[in-house]
Amino acid sequence: MSVLIFVDQSEGHIKKASYEVATYGAKLAAQLGTTAEALVLGTITDNLADLGKYGIKKVHQVANETLNHLDAQLFTNVIAEAVKQLGATVVIFSHTQTGKAISSNVAARLQAGIVTGASALPDTSNGFVVKKTVFSGKAFANIAIHSPIKVISLNPNSFHTLAGEGVAEVSSLAIAVGNPKVKVNSVDKIIGEVPLTEADIVVSGGRGLKGPENWGILLDLAKELHAATACSRPVADANWRPHHEHVGQTGVQIAPNLYIALGISGAIQHLAGVNRSKVIVVINKDPEAPFFKAADYGIVGDLFEVVPKLTEEIRKMRGE
């Protein structure tokens, strides 16, 4: 039973979540008594041999520039063909936007059982059972896969990345790519910001900040923590902040190590997008705010008084 890990990339650089699935896949391969191999699509500037540090023994690359931009149909065709050529029986994706777009398509193409949003290594002691979150992270389900080929997408930040020693063998894989049906004419990229899905720390604001003119206190705190910034849906809908910062069930779903919520009540739709955060800190003057029930730490107080003091203390700790 061989394991094939899909390694996602952007502009020639391997995405952070891909190192997590590489570690996960290598652990699963060891558990199954086989080796972990990786599949990379497009042209890469990073050293693919370094994936060996995460337990990958061999990297297969389809180095076609057409694959530098996500086209779900093309990716599905190429990955499915790679699985067949390599004889893989377990295929692993990260449960990111890219993984969500292609993992189910690949599973359908291969007539494979699939578990999306996995949160732990499969239990292979009696079959192949995968644990995943359900009901917006409120519970867990254990799902058995019985098909010959199995597909898993791993929730980001749910498995500890472990880098060690090792060098992966890198080889080209000959697969006909075909012509894309989607043409990318231009890309408008946000410059100088950490992508929310890859940020270790996120500072987020809600209507409690009262207006865009008060966002400076949030930005000051984020700067001291080297954090990404986010907001609740009402804030984005009111055009206080750009829509790409909206986190929640209908926005970007994130799983940072630390999520700090300023003036956000914690509606269920917002919680669904951030409840995989390792630590949640809530600052709100309403002691009955629902968010406090989900928080690891909470401060009941006026954020306009609390946040500047918190920022100043962090600055002192950093010796600035």
**Residue 80 above 80 pLDDT?**
yes
* Whole-angstrom distance, CA of residue 19 vs CA of residue 283: 33
The SS3 call for residue 95 is coil
Confidence of residue 1 (pLDDT cuts 50, 70, 90): low
Confidence of residue 216 (pLDDT cuts 50, 70, 90): very high
Mean pLDDT of the chain: 93
Which tokens sit at 57? Answer: 């023994």
pTM of the full predicted structure? 0.86
Mean local confidence (pLDDT), 154-183: 89
pLDDT of residue 183: 78
| Fold of the CATH domain 196-317 | Rossmann fold (3.40.50)
Query: Where do the CATH 3.40.50.620 domains begin and end in the chain?
Result: 3-172
Comparing 55 with 187, the larger pLDDT belongs to 55
Residue 108 φ/ψ, nearest 5 degrees: -65, -40
Q: Do 229 and 248 contact (CB within 8 A), yes or no?
A: no
pLDDT of residue 187: 75
DSSP 72-92: HHHHHHHHHHHHHHHT-SEEE
Mean local confidence (pLDDT), 153-157: 92
Share of residues in the chain with pLDDT > 90 (%): 81
The CATH code that applies to domain 3-172 is: 3.40.50.620
**Residue 281 above 90 pLDDT?**
yes
Predicted confidence (pLDDT) per residue in 43-69, tens digit: 999 999 999 999 999 999 999 999 998
**Residue 279 above 80 pLDDT?**
yes
* Whole-angstrom distance, CA of residue 23 vs CA of residue 53: 9
Q: Do 301 and 208 contact (CB within 8 A), yes or no?
A: no
Report the relative pairing of strands 201-205 and 228-231 from DSSP bridges.
Answer: parallel
Confidence of residue 36 (pLDDT cuts 50, 70, 90): very high
pLDDT of residue 73: 93
The SS3 call for residue 317 is helix
* Whole-angstrom distance, CA of residue 145 vs CA of residue 240: 45
pLDDT of residue 181: 79
pLDDT of residue 194: 74
Query: Where do the CATH 3.40.50.1220 domains begin and end in the chain?
Result: 196-317
Half-sphere exposure of 17 (CA within 13 A, CB side): 26
Share of residues in the chain with pLDDT > 70 (%): 98
**Residue 136 above 90 pLDDT?**
no
Confidence of residue 191 (pLDDT cuts 50, 70, 90): low
Comparing 130 with 182, the larger pLDDT belongs to 130
Which tokens sit at 290? Answer: 């629902």
**Residue 282 above 70 pLDDT?**
yes
Quickly tell me which residue has 């644990």 as its tokens: 131
**Residue 96 above 80 pLDDT?**
yes
Q: N- to C-terminal Cα distance for the chain?
A: 54
Beta-carbon contacts of residue 175 (< 8 Å; ≥ 6 apart): 62, 78, 81, 82, 85
**Residue 154 above 90 pLDDT?**
yes
